[in-house]
Chains A and B, each alone.
Chain A
Amino acid sequence: GAVVSQHPSWVICKSGTSVKIECRSLDFQATTMFWYRQFPKQSLMLMATSNEGSKATYEQGVEKDKFLINHASLTLSTLTVTSAHPEDSSFYICSATGLAGQPYEQYFGPGTRLTVT
């Protein structure tokens, strides 16, 4: 089946620094990638949708300048949390759809746990 990886799986950073999270589709071309955020014991919250080669579409309430998303190739999207603060600590998950499997199927990455101290 189609595989999506994320790197790193967990990261600890200090307030004020920036953190980059990578999402890769390993065996298919991902035309669309989604970035989610999940707080403990809550469901996934969509942050943004990114299509290869174009600007990401952010959900209402998500700061574009805070969460920079780049989808430079059909296999890689990155989420950069800029000037991180403790409230940005969360579990970030990406998913991808594209030229694999069934139409509409979304393949999820394993997630990245971010802790900002």
Chain B
Amino acid sequence: KNEVEQSPQNLTAQEGEFITINCSYSVGISALHWLQQHPGGGIVSLFMLSSGKKKHGRLIATINIQEKHSSLHITASHPRDSAVYICAVRPRANTDKLIFGTGTRLQVFP
């Protein structure tokens, strides 16, 4: 079993839909990252959080440390949101390395 699990693996949506991507992890962490990777390959860091909730534009990330679970929400989805979304955690035991989930491939159709 992977230490970081994401669901769903693949997700399709119509433009305007509300989207949720989930991430569960099994290790104690100091931080959790949500990353976005577009088809061209470059990775953008969307959020880094260790508690509570963060919002940036149409994106919202939440984390529940007790339940070892985080969610990424996209409101009013748009075709340009189509990308792979990756959850990565920084284990408490190591302040450098990240453990990555396998990613969620999102396609938003007009």
Query: Using a CB–CB distance below 8 Å, which chain A residues touch chain B?
Result: 32, 34, 38, 42-44, 46, 49, 91, 93, 95, 97, 102, 104-111, 113
Cβ A105 vs Cβ B45 within 8 A = yes
Give a binary string over B45-68; 1 marks a CB under 8 Å from any A CB, 0 the rest.
100100000000000000000000
- A34: which B residues are within 8 A, CB to CB? 96-97
- B96: which A residues are within 8 A, CB to CB? 32, 34, 49, 97
- B35: which A residues are within 8 A, CB to CB? 108
Most buried by B among A43, A49, A95: A43
Cβ A44 vs Cβ B100 within 8 A = yes
- B101: which A residues are within 8 A, CB to CB? 43
User: Which residue of B33, B43, B45, B48 contacts A111 across the interface (Cβ within 8 Å)?
Assistant: B43
**A32-B96, A46-B97 are known contacts. Are A108 and B41 too (CB-CB below 8 A)?**
no
**A43-B102, A97-B96, A104-B95 are known contacts. Are A110 and B41 too (CB-CB below 8 A)?**
yes
Give a binary string over B90-105; 1 marks a CB under 8 Å from any A CB, 0 the rest.
1000011110111100
- A44: which B residues are within 8 A, CB to CB? 43, 86, 100
Cβ B95 vs Cβ A108 within 8 A = no
B76 at the interface (CB under 8 A from A): no
